[in-house]
Amino acid sequence: KAGVTQTPRYLIKTRGQQVTLSCSPISGHRSVSWYQQTPGQGLQFLFEYFSETQRNKGNFPGRFSGRQFSNSRSEMNVSTLELGDSALYLCASSRVAGVAYNEQFFGPGTRLTVL
């Protein structure tokens, strides 16, 4: 069974631009979560989608948004990029959401560099 895939793996943008990252979950998984990882802040939760609906949202500005498609693939978008948005963006998938046992499987991440 294929794992979680994220595209692109590396991305370089300039301040003010926008970016879209993509995540394909493991087949049969319906929940997708996004995390931002930086050396200073560590691993921070962005949002979680389940059956095309956002279930949970972290404490990020509205410039960060996401969506999930009917095939469970998810995209996240960051508009008006800032230097501080440079980070590794990780996607994780799980079978379901909102239950106590909910093992997450991670993709390799997208390394975003904002110049």
Partner 1 sequence: AQSVTQLDSQVPVFEEAPVELRCNYSSSVSVYLFWYVQYPNQGLQLLLKYLSGSTLVKGINGFEAEFNKSQTSFHLRKPSVHISDTAEYFCAVSANKFYFGSGTKLNVKP
111 near partner 1, judged by CB under 8 A: yes
43-72: which residues touch partner 1 (CB under 8 A)? 43, 45, 48, 56
Nearer to partner 1, 27 or 38 (CB): 38
Binding mask 75-104 for partner 1 (x = CB under 8 A): -------------x-x-x-----xxxxxxx
Identify which of residues 79 and 88 has a Cβ nearer to partner 1 in the complex: 88
- The total of other beta-carbon atoms located within 10 Å of residue 33's CB is 26
Among 24, 33, 68, 93, binds partner 1 (CB under 8 A): 33
Which residues partner with 81 through β-bridges?
none
Tokens of 45: 């939760």
**18 three-state secondary structure:** coil
For residues 47 and 34, the answer to whether their CB atoms sit within 8 Å is: yes
Q: Name the E strands within the chain.
A: 5-7, 10-13, 19-24, 31-38, 42-50, 53-57, 64-68, 74-78, 87-94, 105-106, 110-114
Select 60 or 106, whichever has its Cβ closest to partner 1.
106
Nearer to partner 1, 72 or 107 (CB): 107
Interacting residues with partner 1 (CB under 8 A): 4, 6, 33, 35, 42-43, 45, 48, 56, 88, 90, 92, 98-109, 111
